[in-house]
Structure 1
Amino acid sequence: MTLSVDRLAPHPDNPDDRVDGGRWPDVTRVPHVPLRAAVAERLLRRAARRRGLRVELPHGRLLAPAPAGAPVLRLHRPGAFFHRVGESGLIGFGESYQAGDWDSPDLVALLTELAVAPETLVPTGAQWLRRLYVQRPPAGELSTPDNARTNIRRHYDLSNELFALFLDSTLSYSAALFPTEPGGAPLACWENLAAAQHRKIDRLLDLARVGRGTRVLEIGTGWGELAIRAAARGARVTSLTLSAEQAELARRRAQQAGLADRVTVRLNDYRAAEGEYDAVLSVEMIEAVGRPFWPAYFATIDRVLAPGGRVALQAITMPHERMLASSGTYTWILKYIFPGGQIPSTEAIRQATARHTSLRVAACDSFGPHYAQTLRLWRERFTDRAGEVADLGFDAVFRRMWELYLAYSEAGFRTGYLDVQQLLLTRGEDA
């Protein structure tokens, strides 16, 4: 196969689907790196043979023989795809999907296969090639107090209406906890998603022993469901967020629930937390903190926690060795979805609390398969409502980006590359 750089023509199935170069400069730009592109092609051919992938080229050709029923990677512009991947690895892989260079009839199945032992996709003897394309996160995205607000706005201030299109009525943007079958598999459907979100929240509130009169600090407001549910138990809640869009809607929802006198939402960085609290809760917030600031995050919690207080966290995690290997690497997710973030391991949480606080991890429960099902429901809802997303002003590149993000995350939980935990932190004698 002779590689050439395809011009960024409209997607063959969507002739009016053009890319706005001002909004998406790195998606519009197709690099020209012939040697690296040839290497990327060889690596994909090797992966297709070893993983049993069906890589379809234009005009009905296949990159390599494939078994029946294999996950499909359909290349519409193979030249652009290989040049992008050759230049920037997985970032190029994601940008190529945003551009419409490739797609798949079952995106999750394809990404799930690729997420199994991803370190084996590149042969051991060729690992040095990573140095050609691996980037460090930009200093401007490091989650310092000044940068953190901008990072959060890039995701959570996109549009409350956007999130409402694919989240359930609780507007919970974190893993739900479903009832399970006798074998332990989550029983997930759209109709029970809101109840599953409440089950998740209630388990966290129980873990922190939140009840009448409890002084609660929530780090990361979301759209207010946890704060409202805690206040309904009789607690007084102070909730911190850096998202103006979330803060406004969370206050309005607390008012509508008749609980505004018990819920205070502040537009504050977690490092600015003040007061003393019987319970501190934080749901999938630590991932946005960034590894350099985990000590400050836990030290803040330790500082404001009253004697005998309890901390209940929900955190996405990954195995410790994978966390160490990925730390400091700029990824497609960091570039386009969650700037400044880092998924921790449970070991990293144990180390950070032991070294910088009086807190210790007293309990830890994982439910990763439930997150895979939560993401499936969000993704299906998002794709079903693609027209409404477009009506909000989000173009085809954004919609492909969001679909890839949800599918990529779902695949991570399906393979166990990612997990989600509910953790109880106490001061030992306070347990």
Structure 2
Amino acid sequence: MTQATSWLAIPADSDFSFQNLPYGIFSTAASEEKRVGVAIGTWIIDLAEAARLGLFHDWEARYAEAKLVFRQITLNAFIALGAAAHQALRQRLRQLLTEPEAGLRAGAEEVLVEQAAATLHLPVQIGDYTDFYSSQEHATNVGKLFRPDNPLLPNWKYLPVAYHGRASSIVVSGTPIRRPWGQVLSGEATVPVFEPTQALDFELELGFIIGKESRLGVPVPAAEAENYIFGLVLFNDWSARDIQRWEYQPLGPFLSKNFASSISPWVVPLAALEPFRVPGPVQDPAPLPYLQTTGALNFDLQLTVEIITSQSTPAVVTRTNARYLYWNIRQQVAHHTVTGCNLRVGDLLATGTISGGEGPDAHGCLLELTEGGRKPLQLPTGAARTYLLDGDEVVMRGWARTENSRVGFGEVRGKIVPSAYENP
């Protein structure tokens, strides 16, 4: 089906097309109750209200645990219903949007909410968060800053490198980001100082929301991995590079990453991205057997980053594509669980910074764009940035498009504000 088959007018350039139907949590001034909605064009379908009107009666009858699932403050209960329930609801939503007599049009005044009048909230309760390092271009560019002759470490092409991050500080798009303090070792100094970071960076990533629990002690085979994915979000893993330089040896990032990460409010179902699958890069050497995959397992998703300074209009600084990721989501899930580590509904697996493509702006963070802070980034507006200043706002967008369809994530944005911390 295409957008033209829907009775609801949907702008042709909307991220939230008939082919998309992403899920989120919203509230309004008229009703502060958080509830589940689906974005469509400039509207939100209030699924709680639609259920009250009986529009999902047959669907609720098929799934015993579906009663009141749309009145939850996160998507977790809905996600836990399973893939069959998700697919059945998706089919019902398509029917409601294409058949005027199916009931949604008659109840539009009660069920359709203008996005501009809604407040969007964190879509899932995230139990655990793992950040991968899946872009070869990013890993190579960063490695060159420290090891010009051998940028990739010996393990990089044999396994999807990752670390466990902090789930409690993941925030929804629009949440201000406070500049963190930490220990910094500057220049030729031999003793660190405690101060606000002067190297605050963004990291352009995708996040995968886990939609099915796995059993403790039982690895998930790569061939079955996508059965455990509910949908995708845009993800900004904010980083304090100067704090990171001092703390990361030998165990990796800690305070330089745990102060905040931002996600987009709409979760795009994996099913919506099927038309945009593409093969990933050739993997050489061949991965070990448990990591071997075949087919089109990457996604042709255009990704951009804008910086808005307090004195300027938005300036696009990054243009890249998710198709360049070296390690795909099946490999990430297989590697994550190969020890028997179990996944839970609502867990988040992030790709790591996404870089790759043609041109000087095909980098997913300022660390790359400024060559480690040595080459300030000149913005089209005349301003320059090495790293982010207070008052700067970062806006990430992502979308996929064919001649007849568009599926997008909307945006994830965050504005840097001064730290509330006072040095004792």
TM-score by length of 2: 0.29
**Higher RCO, 1 or 2 (CA under 8 Å, sep at least 6)?**
2
Give the number of the structure whose residues are more often helix, by fraction: 1
Give the number of the structure whose residues are more often strand, by fraction: 2
TM-score by length of 1: 0.29
